Structure 1
Amino acid sequence: LKELARLREEARRAATEAEPEPEAPAIRSQTVHDPSSRRSTSHPGGSPAPTMPPDAPLPKLIVGARLALTDSPVEWLALPTDLAAWSRLSRLLSLGKRRASKGDCHLTRADLAEWGAGLILIALPPDPLRGDPALADIAAIARRFPGNAFLGAAPRYDGRDQARFDRLAALAQSTGLAMVAVGDVLMHRAARRPLADVLTCLRIGCTIDTIGLRRLANGERRLKSGAEMARLFHRYPAPLRRSVEIADRCAFRLDELRHQYPHEDRDGEPAQDRLARLSHEGLRWRYPEGPPPKIVARVEKELRLIAEMGYAPYFLTVHDIVAFARSREILCQGRGSAANSVVCYLLGITEVPPESITLIFERFISKERGEPPDIDVDFEHERREEVIQHIYDHYGRHRAGLTATVIHFRSRAAIREVGKVMGLSGDVLARLSGQIWGWSSAAPSEDRVRDAGLDPADRRVMLALRLIGEIIGFPRHLSQHVGGFVITEGRLDEVCPIENAAMEGRTVIEWDKDDIDALGLLKVDVLGLGMLTCIRKAFGLLQDHRGLSLTLANVPPEDPSVYDMLCRADAVGVFQVESRAQLNFLPRMRPRKFYDLVCEVAIVRPGPIQGGMVHPFINRRQGREKVEDLGPAMMEVLGRTYGVPLFQEQAMQIAVVAAGFSPAEADRLRRSLATFKRMGAIGAFRDRFISGMLARG
């Protein structure tokens, strides 16, 4: 959908930039004989159909796959007609991908015959004018799936299409298959042909000068209107009409997919009851002298919301993974918004006591937001693979897989890849890519090109620059997420295809985090952190040499000598505070307790720096500036940071306390603050925020 939206924007720009073309000549209505259907049909003549307005709704999406078999020259278009057919297609693709290395898929005729039920199968044989069209292979599938197998007819635009269609129509009669018109499309506009050739060069590893006959002969393998297809198939209207009938039969939509999370019931105990039991056991474990009433009330509130949203199995999955790690003495630590949950603390997922921070559970789970929670857990990076393999072993590779990440072309990669295809030398490409700063997503300007020693007016350079600009943003390859697992109760390979990762022992689904978010799939993040490995090794050294048995929970807090070291900026190699900016700020901050370090890490960020919060915070902390009394409610929110908001949680609390936002509204405000540069949605809250504050004085 994101790609279609991008293409629609291109179409809008093209419509405004293109000059009007002369009207195409009308085709006379005529009666023709169609050997593929044994019927005589009136050809629909007249003017071409009007083009779709650029702002029209997206067309119906027909999902499917093009299958290249290892034991047959015939390729097949496989289009699922319903959810069950999609599940079989997904399992078929997973089967072929699991047999092969990353990026390949090995399927046979037997596989297609076994898993093809419910699929529309359109045969794409070799050119019947040039060799054997493998009739036996086509006929075998036709007998296996009567009524669902068709013979595809695609124009090649070489002056022999009508003879080719005649031959395919004869083959259709001999095999008993109906012929259907297909476009064999590679691009949405003919102007993309040079870029398509570049992608071919990248795929096969050659330059544009040596691509030879693998270059596209023309720009006709593009999306065409119904009128254009009618011209091409004017002697065979039935195959064209049949393509519409097939499209109507393909009723499956991706939003039919439903994620069934593992139940996580144990010994007949429902997940919610088990979660409540473990939480109450955690109260006794975390608070041996009795929990504060505020914490007890908070636990019950969280458990009620978790039950209402049906997220108990998710919490139990993370709990079980953490329990496995601890049983193997693998250090782990939950982080992120999960720290706002008392239940996570009681389950041992996080280690930060709730009373030491300001909890806003709605940042973690919000009924109004309707999004699944996201619990990130860090494990020792040297032993994280043990945890990953445990997940595969426990749930099975047919039920668990790592999320994918789509790597896109950015400026430097586009310059290197396209420049290599265009025959530019390595030293020139190095100079040109060296002109790009950071994570740029723009083609180099003419000044940058001159600085690299190239002539922007050179024809080859001009073409290379244009293609670089076009390929930026294109998907480059599929990688694996740093640790996001999708786990299902049923077969995950019936929801989406699973393939082997480049790393041995890993399997990955084909969808990225945006895809699974759109479909509401829950993701468990199993991340690696090198500092946890260092801490574990330090614990081992202390045990071996000093007889001290330490864990993350019983490390002596607030050691003055540690803070003395930090005040001297002696923090090279210390996690979170070793950057140049942090080393510069530590002597000014002069931390003397752990919360000071929390503020230290939070304030050395673009938001507080650009928002002018650094100097007021330091001046008030050091007594050079008076802390303004904002009233009891606001000082409860901002008192620990001297009246200066540093954290997103404080922004949410201010919205609730001062502007009357609900917790869910405050969370939406927080999300808009986090994405305002990209989404620009924060303005929608301005009037509501100001009017709410004025109403409360």
Structure 2
Amino acid sequence: MYLNVHSSYSLRYGTIDLDVLIEEARKLGISEIVLTDINNSSASMDFILKARVAGIRALVGIEFRKEDRLLYIGIARNRKGMKELNDFLTYHQLCDLVLPERAPVFEQAYVIYPFKAVSFMLAEHEYVGVRPQDINQLFRLDMALIQRKLVALYSVTFQDKKHYRLHQYLRAIDQNTLLTKVNEIAICQETESLRPLEELQRLYSGYEYLLDNAHQLLANCSTDDYHFGRLNKQTFTDSKANDAILLEKLTLAGMHDRYGSGNMQAKQKIEAELAVVKQMDFCAYFLITWDVINYSRSRGFYHVGRGSGANSTVAYCLGITDVDPIALDLYFERFLNSKRSSPPDFDIDYSWHQREEIQAYLLKRYGIAYTGLLGTISTFKGRSVIREIGKVLGLPKSEIDSFTDPTQDAVNQDNPTFRKIMAVYELMDGMPNQRSIHAGGVLVSEEPITFYTALDLPPKAMPTVQWDMYAAEAIGLDKFDILSQRGIGHIKEAVELIRQNKGKSVDIHAVKSFLIDEQINRRLGASDSIGCFYIESPAMRQLLQKLQCRDYLTLVAASSIIRPGVASSGMMRNYIYYFHHPDEVIYLHPVMKEQLKETYGVMVYQEDVIKVCYHYAGLDLADADVLRRAMSGKYRSRDAFQKLIDKFFLSAKTIGRDEATTEEVWRQISSFAGYSFSKAHSASFAIESYQSLYLKTYFPQEFMVAVLNNYGGFYARWLYVHELKKTGATVHLPCVNNSEEKVTINGRDVYLGLIGIQGLNEDFIKLIPCERVTNGPFQDLTDFIRRTDIGLEQLAILIKVGALRITGRTKKELLWDSHLYMGGSVKPKRDKELFAIVNKQYTMPVLPDERLEDAYQELDLLGYPLTLTMFDMLKTSYRGDVMAKDLLTHVDQTVKMVGLYVCEKTVRMKNQKKMWFGTFLDVHGNFFDTTHFPGRTPIYPFRGHGCYLLLGKVVEDFGVPSIEVEKFAKLPIQDNPILG
């Protein structure tokens, strides 16, 4: 008779994990439970699945609260009743409405009001809950009238006393207050733990009818009508048969475009894939994805189809992906096979500002009742939990900081406050904290989605389910991943700018010609890739240089081995070495040579695991993929996993493989699989990298403008401006008569956008270009002030950044003029003038602008100087003894260099000490990299943007130099003349 049970998904309130709840109930002999989390149904479906396995009768509902006050509890009689509860909550969430004091009339759900809260006649489906502490109030009531409407209401919120204390901490965190100041109404009763039924009967002794009524109520409830499986939209057309016909027709048409009509290898592979797609009932999933791609192309959007879906030749022919699985020997089974227990999905990337339109299209196309964005549940994790606990205890920031520093743990062990915090931390770490939104998942259901969840309305203003991808996967809802990345924005805008500025149309999908272009591959090998997707970071540029990467397949491998797991396992270094010394590779077996020759015997991809299991051990491809997933930690049954391992060895033995060799093959597979990366992913990344490289090679100015307008990439904005200037473009400061909101290009002239001016109000960023289009260029300062109604503070920003140089007057003169015109007021007079009054002219002293002063103002308002470089601003004329291009001639020598700071990466070593990797530019604009070991540099070595003097030893790794820094200091710049 547990009608009101909270799990830890009653966020920052309940403490009980679902698994713990079910196990405790099983131990106590409790056969049925109603899960009623507060204002959400996040855990309801997962609870039903888990309780069924444990043999517990799972019932579900929702507890509705207004702030901290209980309004009523809804308990579903069946799945239709749960839909009613979800619909009710969803309506109020999506419309941002306060929950009413009385629940609506539910046809298939019961409502239980708290005792004393009822001042109206109860409907047939409505009851009053009596808690143990309410029993002594019953003697005042006429039982004859209401007895059948009273039910025992025993709430469950926590496991034991220490979790009750955890509950109090959670409430304090939720209310953002001190533990001692939490409102009493916000905290549950100290008795709200799961107890044996015998104790419940003792608590309600003498009032057994309350338990009987509760039992009768629950007897009318069931979740047996919830059947989980394939819950996605079942058809794209009017039937599954027509779906299959349409999918085959579209695929064959695409095959003609991709491979030509006579390619028998492609035809056979497509037929085999289509057979599996039909068998797995995935036709509608493919067609819905194709429809999304079709729509986005009609809107002129550019997409990248990546992920395991790129293993599918059908997807390639449908235009979902541009990766050719046949050319790359990719296995379809990595995406979909008859033994795959979890659903696959397509990852479709769009430009960051176009993704939401695609998601909205899905919601509109298939109906808002049947679609929703995928949610996610963020948890309390890491040292941030300690900070939260410290705040509610009222500790000073300095003490909290010392507790969050892992290097201080040994010292803090003697501190009782630290031990107290760590005890709470152990309980709280990993608990659900808040609901959020998945990076891009969209669900399309066959039935209204509120059968399974209520919906939230996060900032995106699109309905979002209240559970995450794991819950969706468990009940059988396959997500469509509509993702975004700025790299696509770079490419899309660059193509448009080329059309506008050069009058040329670029087919960015003509990837095959890019892959064999000598100029592009030469640029790739030189790692001249700033702004290019996935290959611009310091680590990736170093890797490209070490590999002397000049072809697509090597880039595909590089995109995989750069991943943290592969790199830290030593496999990256092995690959680079064998890349340069292929004759030294020793293969375990001829099959390993045959299958891994492309990667010099090193397993680089997830597909390599499938290859070896299939070709060496003789497993079928479906089993090989299941084994691959299991070793990546994506297989839940340990027993089933062991059976697959046994099958691997038995199958290898059956086909005559040597036992010792098989042991070593297995050792290599098992040590690698957890770090592996999909070749299809890498191939997709590499395709996009080549598209970026093509644009950077042949249209560098338009490409770099597009990078700036899509908020850059790995580096700070100034570096992309620097890269733009290297292309030969003339980069102008913002100008009220030439600049738009974003950066613009006309021929070789590039004007920085108004949006990049720090402190400039968004209203003026939009108004200035709009006013110029409507009424023509601004004539002078007076004309500009009158037409924009700008205030003195905002006007000063534009003057100081040089945006009013069209007047022909210096900045100092303009500042003087603006003060004279406004008469000392912050805002100009808004009175309309019958006639334009000519301002009085004053004779002023000559007030020239100084380049150093200009540079300081640009540094302040743009974040970087354009008039001068940071090297020009230095007090010293020294620029270093050695330049970046000459470092290889100084290996093992100590050199002194001056470098402009680009970026840094901090790495924590095994002993918890920090080391750093830095990237700098020399005075000629060439990159060099540094390593800063602990003990050789200050505690905080980097002091932000500027030039540094570095002393260190030149080292070399596979032909790539770097500096091991011994001494390091930031160089001072000249004093600001305006302050002098």
| Superimposed CA distance per residue, residues 325-369 of structure 1 (whole angstroms, 9 cap, x where no aligned partner) | 111111101111101111101110000123321121111111122
Deviation of 1:565 after TM superposition, in Å, equals 2.9
- Partner of residue 511, structure 1: 467
1:449 to 412, 415, 420: 412
CA distance in structure 1 between the partners assigned to 2:210 and 2:501 by the alignment: 81
Identity level (%): 25
Aligned to 2:71: 75
Amino acid of the structure 1 residue aligned with 2:219:
D
Per-residue deviation, residues 9-63 of structure 1 (Å, max 9, x unmatched): 7999x99xxxxxxxxxxxxxxxxxxxxxxxxxxxxxxxxxxxxxxxx94633221
Pairing 1:638–2:591 present: no
How far is the alpha carbon of 1:276 from its aligned partner? 1.1
Residue 521 of structure 2 is aligned to residue 544 of structure 1: no
Q: Which stretch shifts more, 687-696 or 466-475? A: 687-696
Q: Does 1:316 align with 2:287?
A: yes
- Pair 1:406-2:377 in alignment: yes
SS in 2 for 1:481: strand
Map of 1:231-242 to 2, 5 A cutoff?
A: 231-242=202-213
Asked whether the 8 Å contact 1:187–1:193 carries over to 2, the reply is yes
Structure 2 CA distance for partners of 1:449 and 1:661, relative to 1, 3 Å: same
Q: Deviations over 1:672-693 (max 9, x none)?
A: 2222899988665444334433
1:229-272 CA-to-partner distances (Å, cap 9, x unmatched) read 12211111121233333333322158435625152116998211
Task: Quote how far apart the aligned CAs of 1:371 are.
Answer: 3.3
Give the conservation status (yes or no) of the 8 Å contact 2:629–2:635: no
* 2:463 aligned with 1:497: no
> Does the CA contact (< 8 Å) of 2:115 and 2:130 recur in 1?
no
| Aligned equivalent of 1:106 | 99
Q: Which residue of 2 aligns with 1:486?
A: 443
**Residue pair 1:659, 1:696 contacting (<8 A) in 2 also:** no
Partner SS for 2:372: strand
State the SS of the aligned residue for 1:64.
strand
User: Which residue in 1 is equivalent to 2:829?
Assistant: none
SS in 1 for 2:602: coil
Alignment correspondent of 1:119? 109
- Larger deviation, residues 620-629 vs 637-646: 620-629
What is the alpha-carbon distance in structure 2 between the residues aligned to residue 293 and residue 69 of structure 1?
65
Give the letter aligned to residue 5 of structure 1: D
Cross-structure match for 1:29 = none
Alignment of 1:26-105 (within 5 A): 57=54, 59-68=56-65, 75-100=71-96
Using the TM superposition, give the Cα deviation of residue 373 of structure 1 relative to its aligned residue in structure 2, in angstroms. 2.6
Aligned residues: 614
Q: Secondary structure at the match of 1:264?
A: coil
Q: 2:548 aligns with which of 586, 590, 603?
A: 590
Kindly indicate whether the alpha-carbon contact (under 8 Å) linking 1:100 and 1:106 is maintained by their aligned counterparts in 2.
no
Counterpart of 2:533? 575
1:471-508 Cα distance to aligned partner (Å, 9 max, x none): 111111000001100112332223321121133x2210
> Pick from 467, 484, 500: which aligns with 2:424?
467
Residues 1:477 and 2:440 are matched in the alignment? no
Residues of 2 paired with 1:579 and 1:677: CA distance?
34
Counterpart residue type for residue 17 of structure 2: E
CA distance, structure 2, for counterparts of residue 349 and residue 677 of structure 1? 28
Matches within 5 A, 1:183-262: 183-211=154-182, 213-214=184-185, 216=187, 219-253=190-224, 255-257=226-228, 259-262=231-234
Kept in 1: contact 2:71–2:114 (CA 8 A): yes
Displacement of 1:670 in angstroms is 0.8
Please, which of 238, 246, 253 is the counterpart of residue 274 of structure 1?
Answer: 246
Q: Which amino acid aligns with 1:118?
A: Q
Q: TM-score with structure 1 length normalisation?
A: 0.81
Contact 2:233/2:444 (CA < 8 Å) preserved in 1?
yes
CA contact (8 A) 2:347 2:481 kept: yes
1:616-657 CA distance string (max 9 Å, x none): 433433236334567775444222222322111111011011
Match of 1:688 in 2: 647
SS of residue matched to 2:467: strand
> Does residue 149 in structure 1 map to residue 126 in structure 2?
yes
Q: Give the aligned partner of residue 562 of structure 1.
A: 520
1:273 CA drift (Å): 1.3
CA spacing shift, 1:624–1:184, aligned 2, 3 Å: closer
- Report what 1:529 is aligned to: 485
Unaligned 5+ runs, structure 1:
16-55, 127-132, 437-444
1:179 aligned to which of 129, 150, 153: 150
Q: Which amino acid aligns with 2:526?
A: R
Q: Which residue of 2 aligns with 1:50?
A: none
Tell me, what secondary structure is at the counterpart of 2:181? coil
Which of 135, 141, 145 pairs up with 2:119? 135
Contact 1:97 1:106 in 2 (8 A): no
Say which of 301, 309, 331 aligns to 1:360.
Answer: 331
- State how far apart, in whole Å, the 2-side matches of 1:475 and 1:522 are: 23
**In structure 2, do the counterparts of structure 1 residues 664 and 473 end up closer, same or farther at CA, with 3 Å as the change threshold?**
same
| Shift of residue 85, structure 1, vs aligned partner | 1.8
Secondary structure in 2 matching 1:62: strand
Query: Aligned ranges for residues 320-339 of structure 1 at < 5 Å?
Result: 320-339=291-310
Structure 2, unpaired ranges of 5+? 1-6, 8-15, 29-52, 658-980
| AA at the equivalent of 1:123 | Y
What is the CA–CA distance in structure 2 between the aligned matches of 1:261 and 1:200, rounded to whole Å?
Answer: 40
Could you say if the C-alpha distance between residues 423 and 680 of structure 1 is closer, same or farther in structure 2, counting changes exceeding 3 Å?
farther
Partner of 1:604: 562
Residue in 1 that maps onto 2:626: 668
Aligned-partner residue type, residue 487 of structure 1:
V
Contact 2:374 2:442 in 1 (8 A): yes
Q: What TM-score does the superposition give when structure 2 sets the normalisation length?
A: 0.58
Q: Which amino acid aligns with 2:62?
A: A
- Structure with greater Cα Rg: 2
Contact 2:234 2:240 in 1 (8 A): no
Distance 1:107 1:476 in 2: 26
Change (3 A) 1:541 1:217: closer
Cα gap change, 1:625/1:208 in structure 2, threshold over 3 Å: closer, same or farther? same
Distance 1:265 1:448 in 2: 67
Question: For the structure 1 residues 122 and 355, does the alpha-carbon distance in structure 2 shift closer, same or farther, using more than 3 Å as the test?
Answer: same
SS of 2:545's partner is: helix
Q: Which moved more, 1:359-368 or 1:244-253?
A: 244-253
Q: 1:123 to 1:472 in 2, by over 3 A?
A: same
Q: 1:291 to 1:576 in 2, by over 3 A?
A: farther
- Mapped contact 2:171–2:187 kept (Cα < 8 A): no
CA contact (8 A) 2:232 2:478 kept: no
C-alpha distance in 2 between matches for 1:100 and 1:108: 16
For residues 689 and 344 of structure 1, what CA distance do their matches in structure 2 show? 30
Contact 1:83 1:257 in 2 (8 A): no
